Chain A
């Protein structure tokens, strides 16, 4: 069974003459453990798709099935719990709490879920170690580089052991070297740690790390590509497809 399935997913912003259709009857399916990148020109609806799959926004029409469950049938509290336990979110601007240390930031989802602070801290430290930040546990966000901040954010997304990671332009605010590191980390999350990753990105070089790329235009899927490996050749192909989609 697919982990994510959207059926006729539609999102219209505004009303009347000013109405803008961000998603237009979108149907996609993502299998467990897949690393899927969503690409497309600005305004194609890729971020909207991510918001709807994450239960952050409500559709105008259609459904999002997560593990077969229609997430918009859940009330606010149930949806919040779903995000806390089954979905990990990674943002473009990291969104770390500036006054908390790295380990404390990572522990947040567990603490919010009622896990004891010591236990949450231990798990957070373990995840930070797995992503190579064991020497930055007590650093605050302003004491970390952009790449390190995004790694902390990824650790935070993983700490509650969710099955799905949603990443919204995770490298959009990083230099190319850090961006590559993050892309590799996301691939590792998918391949080694068996999590499903759905990533929105503008960057073909980053998208080339995914198993599959979905190209959107005007709220619908215009192309879809499976990638066998990553490298310059794949990147060039992604660039070409992206140009076509534009």
Chain B
């Protein structure tokens, strides 16, 4: 072991509490980054499972470029292509079953997520034969029969002769199980194989398919045949199965960014704590370092000594962080499962850690530790040999903080300018600039703030408060750094609290505007394209003719391709939709937009898509549809609550039917006539909804209650906030403990001249409270600014909602800040009070 490593380990052993606190800081940052990134693949996998259809192993699978359905006649073109021996059409889609129709497994789990595969039985038998464990294969004569997997049969006890009831566009469809297939379920969802016609009924896609599977004639060249098939079909088709939509990519990417942001903030906090620790380590070991310099240690040796210590801490903290990160990921996924189940009917697997995550977490853990240790280490190299010979006295900072404060003010002003520029990257830079600016202004503000709070404090701590105040104001730089531990923690709390409050407030506004009808027929999943079963035209007709109903509007959904990426397309009726609901616009005149949509191929894109692709009003988008490429003009930028997080374009339902062949209603909004008997309308609609179990029926009040429960998920973010605030508490304890160490002799003197243990304890507590109060003031300022920037950044990426903050939240933040002051002082105050006077006086 090298001299530096030995010395580092010995120093760490010698200060166990500090080492532990610093280790926790490093560990925490790594844990958050590693753990959070570890859960994302599982969530993506869950979404994919939820959205994807299975693809069998055949020579060629043909699907639509747009992932939508197309006319079944296309299979004829494939069959007629030279080299194709067999071609079979199918309609394969995820299917969510309402809980009432769910199949219950032996362990009590409700199985609600399936993949329904509609096939032409005899063609399938030739093309891709299914092995049976029991029963028989489907025949062309079957119309209400289904094959289920051996796995599902074993789980549920279902067998040949039993029935499955599926939601369908016409209400319910009862299928008889005629056979049990052998094999694993694809993508984690159970596959049901039914006649094509039955699947078309379920999905309201008469005459439509979305997959053609083909086998080539023996001896034919696969590549040539594939090209010939695609050429014959014309544009709009591709070789390969339907994959999960990249319309979710932006939402997932945003999620990844937000979680990474949490991790980076936590890591930065860790780095900050390490910086404070080593800064104080250098002060504390000034004499040791001076002595080493005096007896011949070079500056490089001193630099290496401090950096080795930070590296050792970094290695240990990173290793522990990786371990705890993995545990955090497991814990979070277990905790999130019920939420994913309720909102998306998706099951989440275990966490997954790609090699890059290890590289990121290790690089960050070690990198931040070394970086944070570098400045104090460089400061250590500047310690003069003479420092070993001088008596150590707590110095009084006499340097005017004026220049720093002016620089700080300029930097804060620059930070404000970054927001005006309207660029997310610049806004993020603005956050960093703002924190740096605040750190520079801090020392100049310590004196007035300490005086202000000192007066208040003297009401509680009459004598000790005055000494505490003096301790702070004589070293404003150190006080500002210690207070900044609270500042950063609290800034995060306030900012994230503001963001969440704004988000929830914004969502309330979105819900009120876009889902604020008197009654709602909601699909199973809040993600429109997430396996929901739509209704055929008869349901809306029945709703419209219900006595007391005035207006009805619906949402329909499909997917288009644009420049190789997926874009969710939502169909609205430009006439009825604004009467019942309405999009929230960021650009474009509302009335004119609906008019344009009614008149031709106009599209409204939502903010997330506009931000992602840089699309503006007036641009033309070339959408790949089952009818080939169609040009849609962007009439406006806006969105609705259901689809704000998914890249979405809104077109008229007429165009959706014409270009995408999609006519199923996935969500129905109903208004009642003024003066109508609400109970009667409610009763009639509720009765009607029973025939369509794919929908959940809500009155406005019920819907608000229901969505309120879903939004309560965001409360979990507050828990995350508390977790994020922990490092600042650690930092405060750490720095206060170090301050006590530094002033050991001074405290000994106070005890020698008559201060009681209680008075010492109260002095440290008063000091901590003063620091906490100072940190709280800065924290509130920084937090509000940071929250404003975060909301601004969200707006820039298309999630448009106004910034708001609750006064209760601010009061809570103040309470947390001061609470931290008291908690942070507990250990150091006890340490100080228990100091032995003689030893303290001799302490060097």
Residues of A within 8 A of B (CB): 47, 51, 54, 56-57, 76-77, 80-81, 83-85, 88-89, 91-93, 95, 97-100, 104, 108-109, 111-113, 117, 156-157, 160, 168
Chain B residues within 8 Å of A57, by CB: 386
Closest-CB distance, A238 to chain B (whole angstroms) = 24
B residues in contact (CB < 8 Å) with A? 3, 6-7, 10-11, 13-14, 287-288, 290-299, 301, 384-386, 388-389, 844
A102–B7 CA distance with the chains assembled, in angstroms: 13
Question: Is the pair B292, A51 in contact by a Cβ cutoff of 8 Å?
Answer: no
Residues of B within 8 A of A117 (CB): 3
* Bound CA–CA A99/B8 (angstroms): 9
Q: In the complex, are the beta carbons of B296 and A109 less than 8 A apart? A: yes
Query: What CA separation (Å) do A89 and B293 show in the bound complex?
Result: 11
Contact A98 B14 (CB under 8 A): yes
Which A residues are in CB contact (< 8 Å) with B287? 93, 95
Q: Are A108 and B13 in contact (CB under 8 A)?
A: no
Given A51-B389, A95-B288, answer yes or no on A108-B294 (Cβ-Cβ < 8 Å). no
Within 8 Å CB of B291, what residues of A? 89, 91, 95, 97
Contact check: which of B6, B14, B386 meets A56 at CB < 8 Å?
B386
Nearest residue in A to B12 (C-beta to C-beta)?
A99
Q: How far is the CB of B241 from chain A (nearest CB, A)?
A: 64
> Which of B11, B290, B294 is the one whose CB lies under 8 Å from A54?
B294
Across-interface contacts of A76 in B (CB, < 8 A) = 299
Top-10 shortest CB links A-B = A84-B296, A99-B10, A95-B291, A56-B385, A99-B14, A111-B3, A83-B296, A112-B297, A56-B386, A109-B295
Q: Give the CA-CA distance A97 to B11 in the complex, in Å.
A: 9
Please determine whether B11 and A77 come into contact, CB atoms closer than 8 angstroms.
no
Cα(A224)–Cα(B11), bound, Å = 45
Chain B: which residue is nearest A98 at the CB level? B14
Please tell me which one of the listed residues A83, A100, A108, A111 contacts residue B10 in the complex, with CB atoms under 8 A apart: A100
- Complex Cα distance, B13 from A95, in Å, reads 19
Q: Are B14 and A83 in contact (CB under 8 A)?
A: no
* Contact A156:B14 (CB < 8 A) given known A56-B384, A56-B386, A97-B7: no
Q: Is A108 in contact with B295, judged by CB distance below 8 angstroms? A: yes
Q: Nearest Cβ distance between residue A22 and chain B, in whole angstroms?
A: 13
Determine if B295 and A89 form an interchain contact, defined as CB atoms under 8 angstroms apart: yes
| A91, B291: Cα distance in complex, Å | 9
**Minimum Cβ distance to chain A for residue B363 (Å):** 30
A128 shortest CB reach to chain B, Å? 16
- Residues of B with C-beta under 8 A to A104: 6
Which residues of chain B are within 8 angstroms of A111 by Cβ–Cβ distance?
A: 3
* Known contacts A99-B7, A99-B11, A99-B14; A83/B389 CB under 8 A: no
Pair A85/B294 contact, Cβ less than 8 Å: no
CA–CA, A9 and B222, complex, Å: 96
CB-CB < 8 A to B385: which residues of A? 54, 56, 83
A153 closest partner in B (C-beta): B291
A168 to B290, CA, bound (A): 14
Contacts of B389 in A (CB 8 A): 47, 51, 56, 91-92, 168
Asked whether, in the complex, the Cβ of A91 is within 8 Å of the Cβ of B10, the reply is no
* A99, B297: Cβ atoms closer than 8 Å: no
Q: B11 contacts which chain A residues (CB < 8 A)? A: 99
A25 to B33, CA, bound (A): 64
* Residue numbers in B under 8 Å from A99 (CB-CB): 7, 10-11, 13-14
List the B side residues contacting A51 at CB < 8 Å.
386, 389
CA distance A51 to B290 in the complex (A): 13
A80 touches B384 (CB 8 A): no
- Expressed in whole angstroms, the minimum distance between the Cβ of B47 and any Cβ of chain A is 53
Additional pairs, 9, CB under 8 Å, beyond known A47-B389, A98-B288? A51-B386, A54-B385, A77-B298, A89-B294, A91-B294, A91-B389, A112-B295, A117-B3, A156-B295
* A84 to B294 Cα, complex, angstroms: 8
Complex contact A108–B292 (CB within 8 A): yes
Contacts of B295 in A (CB 8 A): 83-84, 88-89, 108-109, 112, 156-157
B276 → chain A closest CB, angstroms: 21
Are A97 and B288 in contact (CB-based, < 8 A)? yes
Expressed in whole angstroms, the Cα–Cα distance for A80 and B844 within the complex equals: 25
Complex Cα gap A83–B295 (Å): 6
Contact of A81 among B3, B13, B296, B388 (CB under 8 A): B296
Known: A56-B294, A80-B296, A83-B294. A112 touches B386 (CB 8 A): no
> Are the CB atoms of A112 and B294 closer together than 8 Å?
no
Chain A residues closer than 8 Å to B293, beta-carbon distance: 80
**Can you give 9 contacting A-B residue pairs, CB < 8 Å?**
A80-B296, A80-B298, A84-B297, A91-B388, A92-B389, A99-B13, A112-B296, A112-B298, A157-B295
C-alpha spacing A89/B388, complex, angstroms: 11
